[in-house]
Amino acid sequence: MKIKVVKLIDKTGVILDMDDNARVMDLLKKMQIRPDSVIVLHNKVPVPVDDTLQGKEELEIIQVASGG
């Protein structure tokens, strides 16, 4: 299945070919992104990393930062 991913930090987009029943975690791993450093959104709603990708969807990735 094809998944369009847009990284909002640098406004880059990519279309990835993922296996059926792939999870958001698999997508992040393929992109070499640590899941604890980003929030994945679908239609502006956060998506848990253990959710299964549905295919033909567009996801956005926002980098998070914390500090004191």
Which position has the token pair 């393929």?
Answer: 30
Q: 2-63, what's its fold?
A: Ubiquitin-like (UB roll) (3.10.20)
Sequence-distant (≥ 6) Cβ neighbours of residue 62 within 8 angstroms: 8, 9, 38, 39, 41
Classify residue 35 by its DSSP letter: G
What is the per-residue pLDDT for 50?
A: 94
What is the per-residue pLDDT for 27?
A: 93
| Per-run averaged pLDDT (10 residues), the chain, 68 residues | 82 87 94 93 93 86 84
What is the per-residue pLDDT for 51?
A: 94
What is the per-residue pLDDT for 48?
A: 95
What is the per-residue pLDDT for 9?
A: 75
What is the per-residue pLDDT for 45?
A: 93
